[in-house]
Amino acid sequence: MNKKKLILFDLDSTLIENETIDEFAKITGVENEVKEITKDAMNGKLNFEQSLKKRVALIKGAPTSKIKEAVSTFKLTEGAKETIEELKNRGYIVGVVSGGFTVATDKIKEMLGLDYAYSNNLIENDGILTGEVNGVMMEEQAKGKMLKELAKRENIDLKDTVVVGDGANDLSMFKVAGFKIAFCAKDILKKNADICIEKRDLREILKYIE
């Protein structure tokens, strides 16, 4: 039997092609403002928690029905399904950790049969977003902490953990993991990676992990 291992993926621009908050911003017509903040956050120019609160405040008033509609249009990254299936065959516990939102990660968890999904909650009142957010993945070190916690829970050595991400928000888990894969990533993350993949096909990662 294969040794139990753990792999965690980022969601936006990694497991899916979309940037969740940018898509939601289209609903309230603040796409450009939100995109600018996302760009600065992913390049490490802005504190993640501050940038998240700023962006969520801008989508205040969006109906949750429209948010769910947007999520249903999200596109999985090329090769995502096959990659997750193969990782499970190889004995991996597979999860997604995202600075985004449960409305998206829960759906992707279900679609791909993931073991874990952690992200943040968009606060709503009577079917309308209040512009507030809370949750376990808001602060900058959250992904690294979650990786340690899950490894401990599953009794997996940190050297047997793999992470896949694309932006500054993934740095904390890159500092902790045994093997780090930058997927079509920002320079700030590439510098901290063991391997950088530039082809937008998740199956590429399978060449580098056992």
Question: pLDDT by residue (tens digit) across 47-69?
Answer: 899 999 999 999 999 999 999 99
Catalytic residues: 10, 12
Q: Evaluate if residue 1 carries a pLDDT over 60.
A: no
b (16+ CB within 10 A) / e for 16-41: bebbbbbbbbebbebbeebeebbbeb
User: What percent of the chain is modeled with pLDDT above 90?
Assistant: 92
Q: Evaluate if residue 11 carries a pLDDT over 60.
A: yes
In this prediction, residue 125 carries a pLDDT of 98
Q: Give pLDDT tens digits for 15-53.
A: 999 999 999 999 999 999 999 998 888 788 888 999 999
Q: Evaluate if residue 102 carries a pLDDT over 60.
A: yes
- Mean of the pLDDT values across residues 61-79? 97
Strands 116-125 and 128-135, sheet pairing: antiparallel
Separation between Cα atoms, residue 206 and residue 86, nearest integer Å: 8
What does the block give as tokens for 113? Answer: 């049969």
Q: Give pLDDT tens digits for 171-183.
A: 999 999 999 999 9
Which residues are registered as beta bridge partners of 8? 95, 163
User: What percent of the chain is modeled with pLDDT above 70?
Assistant: 99
- Mean of the pLDDT values across residues 117-136? 98
Q: What is the mean pLDDT of the chain?
A: 96
Q: Evaluate if residue 2 carries a pLDDT over 70.
A: no
- Compute the 3-state secondary structure of the chain and give helix, strand, coil in percent, each to the nearest 5: 45, 25, 30
Q: Evaluate if residue 110 carries a pLDDT over 90.
A: yes
Coil vs helix vs strand at 163? strand
181: phi then psi, degrees, rounded to nearest 5? -115, 120
Which residues are registered as beta bridge partners of 122? 133
What does the block give as tokens for 25? Answer: 């911003």
Domains in the chain: ranges and CATH: 5-207 (3.40.50.1000)
